[in-house]
Amino acid sequence: MIRHATAAVLLLGLAAPAQAYKVFVSNERGNTVTVLDSDTWEVLAEFPAGNRPRGITVAPDGSELYVASSDDDMIRVFDPNTYEETHTLPSGPDPELFVLHPSGNPLYIANEDDNLVTVTDVKTGQIVGEIPVGVEPEGMGISPDGKTLVNTSETTNMAHFIDTETFEITQNTLVDQRPRVAQFTADGKLLYVSSEIGGTVSVIDPATGEVLHRISFEIPGINPS
C-alpha cells in the first residue's frame, strides 16, 4: 500500500496492514534518500541518490522507487527493499517533481529549466512526449482516472490542465504566487494547489478550472507579498 505524505515522502507498507510503513525522504542537499520507520521514526537506512534528489515516488505495485536526480538530468530507479539502484530513465533537463500514471506507466516529469513536462515510458525507457508549459514548472498531479494531468508553473502562477491522451493543455487556472504541489482528491472532484509565497491553498474544480475558494495560511500582522 502506497501513501503520499508530501512531494518528497513516500510510505511503503512493510508487510501486513498492522505493521509499520517505510517512509522514503529525498534529501536535496545531502544527495541521499533516508528511510524511516513510520511507527518509531527510527532511521532504517540512508543511501546515495545522485546529485540534488528532488521528486520521489513508488510504483503502484511497490516494486520500484523512482527518484529525480535534478543535477544529473535523470530519474534513478531503486529496489525499495534492498535500496540498490537498478537502472536510470531519461527525464529531460533539471527534473523537479513528477507523478506516475495510476496504471504505473508513464512517468510525467516537470523540467524546470526548459519549461516542459517530459513523458517517459518506464518500461521501454524512452521519452514519448514533451509538453510545453509555463515558466519554472514544479508540481505534478494526476486525476485518479489518469485522464487529466496538472502541472504548476512557479513563475507563471498557473495550474495547467493537460489531457494525457493528446498531451494538449485543456485549460489554465491562475493561482496565487509560486504554486508548488498539486493534488487531486481521491474521487477526482477537487484539486488542491499550494502557493508557497501566496500562503494559500487553492481549491479548484477540475471540470471547469474554477477556483472555488482559497485556504489562507496568512500570519496576522505579516503581509506575504
- Exposed, middle or buried, 34 (CB in 10 Å: 0-12/13-18/19+)? middle
Residue 199 lies in a domain: no
> Please, are residues 46 and 31 in contact by the beta-carbon 8 Å criterion?
no
**Overall pTM surpassing 0.85 (yes/no):** yes
Q: Cα separation of 129 and 106, whole Å?
A: 10
Structure confidence at residue 222 as a pLDDT band (50, 70, 90):
low
The number of folded domains in the chain is 1
Residue 13 lies in a domain: no
Residue 99's CATH number: 2.130.10.10
What are the DSSP calls for 180-191, one per residue?
Answer: EEEEE-TTSS-E
Query: Quick one: average pLDDT of 75-82?
Result: 96
Residue 145 per-residue DSSP state: T
Residue 111 lies in a domain: yes
Residue 137 lies in a domain: no
Residue 219 lies in a domain: no
Residue 106 lies in a domain: yes
Cell matching residue 23: 517512509
Kindly give the residue spans of alpha helices, DSSP state H, lying in 48-198.
none
* Digit-coded pLDDT (tens) for 150-196: 999 999 999 999 999 999 999 999 999 999 999 999 999 999 999 99
Q: What's the domain range around 32? A: 22-132
Beta bridge partners of 185: none
Residue 110 lies in a domain: yes
Residue 182 lies in a domain: no
Identify which of 13-17, 141-145, 213-217 has the greatest average pLDDT: 141-145
Tell me what the pLDDT averaged over the chain comes to. 91
In this model, does residue 146 exceed pLDDT 90? yes
Q: Using omega within 30 degrees of 0 as the cis cutoff, is the peptide bond preceding 106 cis?
A: yes
* Digit-coded pLDDT (tens) for 7-64: 334 555 554 445 568 899 999 999 999 999 888 999 999 999 999 999 999 999 889 9
In this model, does residue 1 exceed pLDDT 80? no
